């Protein structure tokens, strides 16, 4: 089922049930979303947007984003989401890759407080586009990589890949969707690839223009949010927020953490303070779907791993020659399923390099699979450093140091060393007590880490810098160590 046809069926099944609720009070039903996107599709066509064109959305987290995305799909155009948290220079870099026929910015789209005001002046009221011929290879979405290690790449998904994401996530089920809360930019992988699955659920999503821990907690209490998803940083900020203890969380039923490594301490704290089951997920933009834990898995699974391959996904850990490594050894994590990207936009060389001969996506992550089939991440291959001839994986070190009672957050990066080649520097956010010293961190980690893995320097900071993707900005931290 295509994204466009999925919306039509959802509108038929769920009708006037709310699909999106905005911060300004606007409520859109499934029927209204279908109608508005029909009218916007005709509006796009009258402005010259044709099948195969790219429509770039530089919009915040508002319902209009989804109306435009679905409208573009109905005329066969490709939506390129652009994170509004990027600087103007970074946004332009994305647009240079996307080469859109039309760019819709916040200045072009005034967030409406009423249904009739949604995209007024863009829609053609009472109209609907001609249905497209069924083509599973029709491109639908461009999701951009963060570009923290170079220029951003546009990851292309066709209807075939989006349908596979939906099949893996929800199967053929309709209904039973939660009351959720949008926690990331709508240009991110989840909102762009899981839209059809969310529509099939018939649930309601509450949209915040800009996420904050306090606003998220208020939304849970005021709107009866039942499902909470987020990256580890967001969950940690909610746990640290002073309003947590007084917030009514009785509606909350489950939490999913993804988009980055969650420490054992964070997983345990979230389970304890939120009082609901928690699962972790792992993938990369190019693979769309990867591994995860289930809510009924043993508690330690989510604490020490990112779970097992999800149904329909093949997980492989390979050496530098693309040969499988023995169980328990660290190698390059590769994922294969029907959901993996169609390729990088207008970049055949990078596309070829991203896949193994068997068609698996190279995630760029290092990891190992244990005897129970659980994947344990060891960090990015580009983050690994070599100290005195020994490989050190920062994420492994961070997961241990994060257990220190005086550590709230930690990031380990390498700096050059005349003797050892490279050594580790731990950037630490301290708790309310005394800031940890280098000796205390090394003593704490010595029981679980080899001596060569322990940091040689510690720097206490107020907060770890984040990228526009809400991941720790290792590149910026590394620049602080430059001579």
Tell me which residue of 205, 29, 9 sits closest to 115, measured CA to CA.
29
Task: Determine the Cα–Cα distance for residues 359 and 340; give it in Å rounded to an integer.
Answer: 9
Q: What is the pLDDT along the chain (483 residues), one digit of tens a residue?
A: 999 999 999 999 999 999 999 999 999 999 999 999 999 999 999 999 999 999 999 999 999 999 999 999 999 999 999 999 888 888 999 999 999 999 999 889 988 999 999 999 999 999 999 999 999 999 999 999 875 556 789 999 999 999 999 999 999 999 999 999 998 899 999 999 999 999 999 999 999 998 999 999 999 999 999 999 998 888 988 998 999 999 999 999 999 999 877 888 889 999 999 999 999 999 999 999 999 999 999 999 999 999 999 999 999 999 999 999 999 999 999 999 999 999 999 999 999 999 999 999 999 999 999 999 999 998 777 888 889 877 888 988 998 999 999 999 999 999 988 888 889 999 999 987 789 999 999 999 998 898 989 999 999 999 999 887 778 898 899 999 865
Burial class of residue 479 in the structure, from the number of CB atoms within 10 Å of its CB (0-12 exposed, 13-18 middle, 19+ buried):
exposed
Cβ pair 297, 278 in contact under 8 A: no
Cβ pair 37, 83 in contact under 8 A: no
Binning the chain into helix, strand and coil, the percentages to the nearest 5 are 30, 25, 45
Neighbours of 209 (CB within 10 A): 16
**Domains, in order of start, for the chain:** 3-369 (3.40.50.12780), 383-479 (3.30.300.30)
- pTM score, whole prediction: 0.86
Instruction: Please tell me the number of Cα atoms within 13 Å of 55 on its side-chain side.
Output: 29
Structure tokens at 92: 């332009």
Q: Give the strand pairing for 343-344 and 154-158.
A: antiparallel
**DSSP codes, 174-208:** -S---EEE--S-TTSHHHHHSHHHHHHHT-EEEE-
């Amino acid at each position: 089922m295509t994204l466009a046809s999925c919306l039509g069926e959802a509108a038929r099944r769920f009708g006037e049930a709310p699909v999106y609720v905005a911060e300004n009070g606007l409520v859109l039903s499934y029927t209204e979303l279908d109608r508005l996107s029909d009218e916007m599709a005709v509006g796009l066509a009258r402005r010259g947007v044709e099948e195969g064109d790219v429509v770039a959305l530089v919009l915040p987290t508002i319902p209009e984003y989804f109306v435009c995305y679905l409208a573009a799909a109905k005329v066969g155009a490709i939506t390129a989401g652009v994170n509004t948290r990027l600087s103007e220079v970074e946004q332009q870099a994305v647009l240079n890759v996307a080469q859109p026929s039309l760019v819709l910015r916040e200045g072009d789209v005034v967030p409406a407080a009423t249904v009739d005001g949604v995209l007024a002046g863009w829609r053609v009221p009472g109209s609907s586009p001609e249905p497209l011929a069924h083509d599973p290879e029709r491109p639908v979405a461009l999701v951009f990589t963060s570009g923290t290690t170079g220029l951003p790449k546009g990851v292309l998904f066709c209807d075939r890949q989006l349908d596979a994401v939906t099949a893996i996530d929800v199967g053929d089920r309709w209904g039973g969707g939660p009351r959720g809360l949008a926690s990331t930019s709508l240009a991110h992988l989840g909102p762009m690839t899981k839209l059809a699955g969310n529509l099939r659920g018939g649930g309601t999503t509450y949209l915040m223009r800009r996420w904050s821990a306090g606003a998220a907690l208020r939304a849970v209490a005021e709107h009866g949010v039942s499902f909470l998803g987020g990256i580890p940083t967001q969950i940690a900020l909610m746990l640290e927020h002073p309003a947590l203890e007084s917030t009514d969380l009785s509606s909350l039923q489950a939490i999913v953490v993804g988009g980055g490594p969650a420490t054992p301490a964070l997983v345990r704290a979230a389970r304890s303070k939120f009082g609901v089951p928690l699962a972790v997920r792992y993938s990369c933009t190019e693979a769309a779907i990867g591994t995860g834990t289930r809510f009924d898995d043993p508690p330690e699974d989510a604490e020490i791993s990112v779970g097992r391959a999800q149904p329909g996904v093949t997980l492989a850990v390979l050496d530098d020659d693309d040969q499988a490594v023995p169980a328990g050894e660290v190698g390059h994590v590769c994922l294969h399923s029907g959901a993996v990207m169609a390729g990088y936009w207008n970049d055949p060389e990078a596309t070829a390099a991203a896949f193994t001969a068997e068609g698996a996506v190279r995630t760029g992550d290092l990891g190992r699979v244990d005897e129970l089939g659980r994947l344990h991440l060891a960090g990015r291959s580009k983050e690994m450093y070599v100290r005195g001839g020994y490989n050190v994986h920062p994420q492994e070190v961070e997961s241990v140091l994060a257990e220190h009672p005086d550590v709230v957050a930690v990031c380990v990066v390498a700096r050059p060393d005349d003797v050892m080649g490279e050594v580790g520097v731990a950037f630490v956010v301290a708790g309310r007590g005394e800031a940890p010293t280098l000796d205390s961190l090394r003593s704490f980690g010595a029981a679980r880490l080899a001596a060569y893995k322990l940091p040689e320097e510690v720097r206490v900071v107020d907060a770890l810098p984040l990228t526009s993707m809400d991941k720790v900005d290792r590149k910026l931290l590394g620049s602080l160590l430059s001579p």
